[in-house]
Chain A
Amino acid sequence: MMGKGKPSQKSASSFSLKGTFIAVMLLGVFILASWFGAYALFIAR
């Protein structure tokens, strides 16, 4: 299990979501790269 001492009781909105932001952006980049890859193949054929 995840755990490192007692969890903080701080409000969820007080934490940075930098990692989430980067992860979602990377997800977007992956989707776009896959789409343009398929598009290039489509155009080439």
Chain B
Amino acid sequence: MSTKQLTFSKQESTLYMVFMHVTFVSLLIGGLMGLLQTLVRSGKYTLPFNIDYYTILTVHGVILGLVLTTFFIIGFQFSLLGKTVGISKKQLRAAWLSFWVMLVGTVMAAITILIGEASVLFTFYAPLQAHPAFYFGLAFVIIGSWIAAITNFRQLYVWKKANKGQKSPLLAFMVTINMAMWVIASLGVATAVLIQFIPWSLGYAETINVLLTRTLFWYFGHPLVYFWLLPAYMAWYAIIPKIIGGKLFSDSLARLAFILLLMFSIPVGFHHQLTEPGIDPTWKFIQVVLTFMVIIPSLMTAFSIFATFEITGRRKGYRGVFGWFRKLPWKDVRFLAPFIGMLAFIPGGAGGIINASHQMNSLIHNTIWVTGHFHLTAATTVILTFFGIAYWLIPHLTGRTLTAKLNRLGILQTIIWTVGMTIMSTSMHIQGLLGGPRRSNFSEYAGGEQVATWINYQLAQAIGGSILFIGIILMVYIFIQLAFFAPRGHEEYPIAEEESDALPTPKVLENWYLWVGLTIALILFAYTIPVIDIIKHSPPGSVPFSWPIGRS
């Protein structure tokens, strides 16, 4: 791995920071909506000013699931490429264009949601219909992200041309994998938005093929969660080792894991549609098997992380089977926050395997277990790693330092998040197993024994949600400090180096034609026949429903 680090110009730092500003504004807005949801579902609180529950639910999902994540990831990835392969003036202009197109799209979608014209949740399932501006907004966000992707591809291409025969820096390779996956996957949702939703919402098409929209959404929706996760993996593989004073465990293993994630993250969307009528069970089964293939790179990652910790500890002289573990830098928030994220991925991943286990999915489908699951994976594993990155990235970009006091506040933030999420997510998992539904507003469902068992868990979720919101306020405070007020200085951009005696990385791991080709082949295999079947044999399409939620 090339260890040469480039210095950011002022213009570069400004660009990467604007993405971070959108991220933390989103965190505050989206987090507040999450708090309100848990309070409403406790049955003890009613929203003021006639605000609709499904409006705040949509704001929460869209702002945190799509806006925060996409802006943070694209900003962070631009910084990774800027650090490892550089960015030209022309590429910088393209990066700004991507930012503005995404921001315009976000504002369009946000306004339509906030005025109650798009209470369709972040999955925007048809036949619920939103105002056309919502779908146009989404299209702009996707197009903006494609501009970012093309810029990223170009950045690596220019570097490769200037450094013929050299392997690309590991982090640049990882960013390219993530953006390749994003482009391939978002083609699905873009197709649904442009060809199905927009004409239908404008009234040009009377009906919509519901199953096709959902299939195209989940063709995108599952790789979307890997689009969130891979930047966290980038930090775990190539940044955390540096923070703990160690080296990269294996460049080849890291690249292979990313390639496997590219190949097996996309042709698996049916595991979100296991209870869906109209899809042949054989194809559901095939996609379940492909889903299980993702376990391999996930366990490779777990092995690699443990091995990095152990080798680093042993090199420093710590003995015993787990002596190295006790001596990890627990008081360094740049390590602690992502570490808690890694820990949360153990129950998160185990839960994911249960969700994807074909028939067993009926145990938890549409229950709040699923919400508990993705609050472990996305809202803990991914977000705490992103926070862990922010603690050094923000001061690096603003020319400030992470002081001992801010580090302590960061540790406190991590503890608050862990406590709040443990309470909220555990109660969601248990309530889900008791049949508690997800998505829905507070209801006593006209009484009933089973319903009576849910309320205490909903109260626990309100307590957990309130603790999490305190964590959000603290995180926003830390962000403001790091961005504007922390002492001037230099904060390290930690990138791990390879072992001096590391074996050379096989060239085949950088054969983009091979890996992207195999990815496309797997997608065609997993989707062609069922999609033809869906188009040919679907029931008549649905007229739009803008009531009871949607546009009311």
Chain A: residues with CB nearer than 8 A to chain B?
Answer: 1-5, 7-8, 10-12, 15-20, 22-24, 27-28, 30-31, 34-35, 38-39, 41-42, 45
Contact = CB atoms under 8 A, between A and B. Distances in A.
Given A1-B245, A20-B310, A31 B350 contact: yes
Contacts of A30: 346-347, 350
Interface string B264-287: 000000000000000000000000
Main secondary structure of the interface of B (DSSP, over half): helix
A20 B364 CA distance: 33
Report, nearest first, the 3 A-B pairs whose CB atoms are least far apart.
A20-B306, A34-B350, A15-B314
B327 A4 contact: yes
B302 A27 contact: yes
A19 B327 CA distance: 14
Given A3-B245, A35-B354, A11 B318 contact: no
Interface in B301-327: 302-303, 306-307, 309-318, 321-322, 324-325, 327
A6 B393 CA distance: 28
B520 interface: no
Contacts of B406: none
Contacts of B457: none
Interface string B230-258: 00000000000000110101000000000
Contact of B321 (A5, A11, A19, A31): A19
B363 interface: yes
A24 B347 contact: no
Given A8-B317, A31-B349, A34-B350, 14 more contacts: A2-B329, A3-B245, A4-B316, A8-B314, A12-B499, A12-B501, A15-B311, A17-B311, A19-B325, A23-B306, A24-B299, A34-B351, A35-B354, A38-B357
B491 interface: no
B433 interface: yes
A16 B299 CA distance: 19
A15 to B, nearest CB: 4
Given A12-B499, A27-B302, A31-B349, A18 B329 contact: no
A8 B313 CA distance: 10
18 contacts: A1-B332, A2-B327, A2-B328, A3-B316, A5-B317, A7-B316, A12-B311, A17-B307, A18-B321, A19-B310, A19-B324, A20-B306, A20-B310, A22-B321, A24-B302, A28-B299, A34-B351, A39-B357
B353 interface: yes
Contact count band on B: 35 or more
Contact of B310 (A11, A17, A28, A31): A17
B311 A2 contact: no
Contacts of B360: 38-39, 42
A15 B316 contact: no
Interface string B352-368: 01100101101110000
Given A20-B306, A24-B306, A30-B350, A42 B363 contact: yes
Contacts of B303: 20, 24
Nearest to B369: A38
Contacts of A41: 363, 433
Contacts of B316: 2-5, 7-8
Report which residue of A12, A19, A42 has the largest number of chain B beta carbons within 10 angstroms of its beta carbon. A12
Contact of B306 (A4, A7, A19): A19
A34 B351 CA distance: 8
A17 B309 CA distance: 10
Contacts of A23: 302, 306
A7 B231 CA distance: 29
Contacts of B346: 27, 30
Contacts of B307: 17, 20
B299 to A, nearest CB: 7
Contacts of A11: 499, 501
B354 A34 contact: yes
A8 to B, nearest CB: 5
Contacts of B318: 4
Nearest to A37: B354
A42 B364 CA distance: 10
B317 A2 contact: no
A39 B357 CA distance: 9
Interface string B187-221: 00000000000000000000000000000000000
B339 to A, nearest CB: 13
B95 to A, nearest CB: 34
A23 B307 CA distance: 10
Nearest to B247: A12
Contacts of B327: 2, 4
A30 B349 CA distance: 10
Contacts of A28: 299
A7 to B, nearest CB: 5
A42 to B, nearest CB: 5
A7 B327 CA distance: 14
A41 B429 CA distance: 14
Nearest to A15: B314
Given A19-B325, A20-B303, A30-B350, A8 B332 contact: no
Contacts of B317: 4-5, 8
B539 to A, nearest CB: 30
B245 A38 contact: no
B306 A10 contact: no
